[in-house]
């Protein structure tokens, strides 16, 4: 099973998120989507909607697309669960850690997390 991990604040679900999610479901059998919370969600922002609100909006979008093989989780640190599992990480190229603008690559945030 090819697992894909990605994360975001999802304050506004924009075209970049939609493209990134589409790519994740294209290359993965199961997608873990981390939604930032706490200090991580507020970083660089004056305000951010409640986690539950952002999660509901994302769930509605996923349902509309027919993407069912996923897990939504709370991200409170930058590495998230991808640092503890063999997974492909997708990044939108906007955050601190860029992995090629949405292309699938093995996780490299913690070099000892997985091996290729």
Q: CATH number of the domain at 44, please.
A: 3.40.50.620
Determine the pLDDT at residue 26: 92
As a whole number, mean pLDDT of residues 94-108 equals 38
- Number of structural domains (the chain) is 1
As a whole number, mean pLDDT of residues 15-32 equals 92
Domain that holds residue 24: 3-106
| Residues in a beta bridge with 5 | 32, 89
Decide if 58 is inside a domain. yes
Decide if 19 is inside a domain. yes
Phi, psi of 43 (to 5 degrees): -55, 120
Decide if 33 is inside a domain. yes
Alpha carbons 76 and 64: distance in angstroms, whole number: 27
In this prediction the pTM is 0.72
Decide if 115 is inside a domain. no
Determine the pLDDT at residue 71: 93
Q: What would the pLDDT profile of 29-66 be if each residue is shown by its tens digit?
A: 999 999 999 999 998 888 999 999 999 999 999 999 99
């Amino acid at each position: 099973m090819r697992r894909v991990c990605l994360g975001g604040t999802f304050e506004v679900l924009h075209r970049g998120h939609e493209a990134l999610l589409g790519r994740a479901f294209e290359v993965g059998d199961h997608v873990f989507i981390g939604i930032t919370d706490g200090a991580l969600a507020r970083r660089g922002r004056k305000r951010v909607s409640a986690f539950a609100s952002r999660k509901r909006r994302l769930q509605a979008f996923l349902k509309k697309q027919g993407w069912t093989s996923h897990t939504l989780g709370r991200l409170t640190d930058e590495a998230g669960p991808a640092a503890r599992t063999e997974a492909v990480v997708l990044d939108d190229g906007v955050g601190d850690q860029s992995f090629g603008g949405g292309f699938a690559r093995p996780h490299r945030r913690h070099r000892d997390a997985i091996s290729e």
